[in-house]
Amino acid sequence: GAAEKGNYPHFMLKEIFEQPETVENAIRGRLDHEMASAILSGIGLSPRELLQIGHIVIAGCGSSMHAGLVGEYYFEDLAGISTSVEQAAEFRYRNPIIEPNTLVIPISQSGETADTIAAVREAAAKGAIVTALCNVVGSTIAREAGRGIYLHAGPEISVASTKAFLSQVVVLLLFALLLGRNRRLSRSRGAELVAEIEQIPDLIREVLEQALEIKKIASRYAHVDDFFFIGRGCLYPTALEGALKLKEISYIHAEGYHAAELKHGPISLLDEKHPVMALANDIPGRDKILGNIQECRARKAPVVAIATRGDRAIRDLTQDVIEIPPCSRFVAPLPTAVALQLFAYYIAAERGCEIDQPRNLAKSVTVE
Ligand code: G6P
């Protein structure tokens, strides 16, 4: 009902603005300052069992799969554990390799997505250790996995996922920190990460404060038919998620690409009618993205850039810059995703779309 939306015109906007608190809820009680690590009791694995994990397989659909793709960077870089991300729909048909030391992490906001449930059952039948990331307490996946980490994002009403996605990424970072400290990650690096994780709610607040500025930029793009989103590193899956948000709620054709893949195809489409959203935060790879922006501009493609506050070089290339506070590469997907949510939201609002209930989409897809 209208009351639950408070002063917001849509649940999606309300949920976007809740994110400083929902991320705080995902973190609360889960940081271990003493050990420079994370505490995730729900995973139900002892330090010795954690040490035995040889491979991680993440399975999910839609935004949950995109969160998993960010998590892949975390687990490989921080914990040194090889990780693969599967579309949950493909998992059982691919005959996945599950060994006794394989950890399967199903990710699902609702815990009721049919393809992800099927992946959990297949993984369990093959003897995998299964630890689920769900938002809905007592949902099918949470129950069947038996162990897991709840997101604590509260009910998500908007069909397009926002706060659950952010909490998934935060929880994956906590999990990677724990696994990292369990193996090769130093105490000092762990302590740095703990401090960075604690800053995430404030980083999000700073992005939310720029909502009007983002709205202004969005209004200049509300009429377009196509959009490319490009990024590198952890911002590559963030680009996928940004493109998904835009196409879900505004019906604009949007594609996320790894920035380096532009030249392997999409660049042939670029012209004044094909704008590009470039995730150009000041993290490793930023100089290469700068080169990609120049390539886009040379083909007259309008560019919206997400950049770290004060990045003059990017302002020289395009007037449409959304500024993100400085942060490390592992944390960067979070404030960046919030900026992309707002961008998609304001475009869809300007186009008069049914934002909370886009046509043909369901909050939870309970059939295969
Ligand atoms: C649907 C929703 C998406 C969501 C996906 C996975 O497609 O519209 O927003 O990301 O299902 O849902 P889950 O509940 O498994 O995270």
With a 6 Å cutoff on the Cβ, whether 140 touches ligand 1 is: no
Using the mean position of ligand 1's atoms as its centre, give its distance from the Cα of residue 164 in Å. 10
**How confident is the model over 277-286, as pLDDT tens digits?**
999 999 999 9
**Quick one: which of 168, 107, 99 has its CA closest to 132?**
107
Strands 37-38 and 132-134: unpaired
Supply the pLDDT for residue 250. 97
Supply the pLDDT for residue 327. 97
Mean pLDDT of 225-253: 98
With a 6 Å cutoff on the Cβ, whether 135 touches ligand 1 is: no
Q: Cα–Cα distance between 172 and 175 in angstroms, integer? A: 5
pTM assigned to the model: 0.97
Using the mean position of ligand 1's atoms as its centre, give its distance from the Cα of residue 110 in Å. 7
Tell the residue nearest (CA) to atom 8 of ligand 1. Answer: 363
The distance of Cα 224 from the centroid of its chain, to the nearest Å, equals 24
Q: Which residue has the tokens 């909490």?
A: 167
With a 6 Å cutoff on the Cβ, whether 161 touches ligand 1 is: yes
**DSSP codes joined into one string, 203-236:** HHHHHHTTHHHHHHHHHTTTT-SEEEEEE-TTHH
**Interior/surface letters 311-327, b for 16+ CB within 10 angstroms, e for the rest:** beebeebbebbbbbbeb
Which atom of ligand 1 approaches the CA of 61 most closely? 6
With a threshold of 0.90, tell me whether the complex ipTM lies above it. Answer: yes
Kind and range of the H or E run holding 64: helix 62-74
Kind and range of the H or E run holding 103: strand 102-108
Q: Cα–Cα distance between 165 and 337 in angstroms, integer? A: 9
Using the mean position of ligand 1's atoms as its centre, give its distance from the Cα of residue 111 in Å. 9
| Mutational test site, ligand 1, from 15, 58, 64, max ligand atoms within 8 Å of CB | 64
Using the mean position of ligand 1's atoms as its centre, give its distance from the Cα of residue 364 in Å. 5
| Mutational test site, ligand 1, from 365, 367, 368, max ligand atoms within 8 Å of CB | 365
**DSSP codes joined into one string, 307-351:** EETT-HHHHTT-SEEEEE----TTTTHHHHHHHHHHHHHHHHHHT
Using the mean position of ligand 1's atoms as its centre, give its distance from the Cα of residue 53 in Å. 28
Using the mean position of ligand 1's atoms as its centre, give its distance from the Cα of residue 160 in Å. 8
Supply the pLDDT for residue 182. 96
**How confident is the model over 175-214, as pLDDT tens digits?**
999 999 999 999 999 999 999 999 999 999 999 999 999 9
